[in-house]
Amino acid sequence: MTVRGVIFDLDGVLWRGRLPIEGAAETLATLRREGFRVAFCTNNSTRHRSEVAEKLRSMGMPAEADEVFTAGALAASIIARDWQGRPVLMVGEAGLRRELTEAGVELTDDPDVAGLVVMGWDREISFDKYRRAHRAIEAGAHFLATNPDLTFPEADGGSAPGCGGLSAVLVASTGVQPECHGKPDPALFASIAAEWGLEPHQVGAVGDRLDTDLGAARRFGCLGILVLSGVTTQADLDGLDAASKPDVVLASVVELPALLMQS
């Protein structure tokens, strides 16, 4: 095994809600001590990268903002690059707003002037937010969603609607499918590997979702490692064809150092 860098998803992998996954801090400390590169990659757009790093540190997992890669930050960079001059109507939380503002994106609440609608996960979604986004898309605004996750894992073992679940309302009402660059799109993984100077076969991606985390790993060509501490269960794996199965399945990240250091 030639893995030298590990990309961790967060929700369901290193924490669930406000609770860390047992042994996650020790796992990260061991990998760093053994010389592995570490990055954190999430489809969750509610927090700015610096806030994600702060949450990791509060759980005993040292991390810096430049080690964090979020779908919100990626969306902001793409909008700033490809949609300059078009006011953006945002549906999302403070972390996404900060990423967009720092990227120089012009924001508006007026659906009549919006040239683009960007939707992130929003735990305060309302009819008015949906109405304004619907009206903007109906008038011709481009539609971008930070990620397609239908559900979001919660600390009690259940789940809530994710960004993909929320944006499905707009898909149903407008008939427009959003552009999406979060996982399973491999763009985030590619940018991390490029920063490390590693090839795909030298990277391992750890996630709890078959569709997004492991889908991105498959499309990027790196080692896909599924942990059963999040939304995917062993029952979900039963009956899958070989092409759809993860490269590795672990109960949690606690088992990761032994896997990566066995060669």
Looking at residue 12, what is its pLDDT? Answer: 92
Phi, psi of 85 (to 5 degrees): 90, -5
Spatial distance between the Cα atoms of 223 and 126, rounded to a whole number of angstroms = 39
Task: State which H helix or E strand residue 169 sits in.
Answer: helix 163-174
- Cβ neighbours of 23 (radius 10 Å): 16
Check residue 86 and give its pLDDT. Answer: 94
- Judge whether 9 counts as a catalytic residue: yes
Cα–Cα distances (Å) from 145 to 12, 160, 173, 230, in that order, read 21, 17, 15, 22
- Looking up tokens 């894992």, which residue turns up? 153
**CA 216 – CA 118 distance, rounded (Å):** 21
Residue 64 Cα to chain centre, angstroms = 17
Cα–Cα separations (whole angstroms), residue 41 to 60, 71, 172, 184: 18, 8, 29, 12
Q: Which residues contact 115 (CB under 8 A, 6 or more apart)?
A: 83, 85, 86, 87, 88, 141, 142
Given a cut of 70, the residues of the chain with pLDDT beneath it are: 1, 263
Residue in 11, 149, 185, 213 annotated catalytic: 11
Nearest to 174 by CA among 132, 236, 208: 132
- Token representation of residue 99: 């990423």
The distance from CA 17 to its chain's CA centroid, rounded to whole angstroms, is 15
Query: What's the token pair of residue 69?
Result: 């890669």
Domains of the chain plus CATH, in order, are 5-43+183-260 (3.40.50.1000), 72-180 (3.40.50.1000)
CA 164/CA 184 separation, integer angstroms: 12
Which residue out of 9, 122, 149, 185 is catalytically annotated? 9
Residue 1's pLDDT is what?
60
- Give yes or no: 128 in active site: no
Start-to-end C-alpha separation, the chain: 6
Distance CA 89, CA 137 (A): 10
**What is residue 263's predicted lDDT score, i.e. its pLDDT?**
57
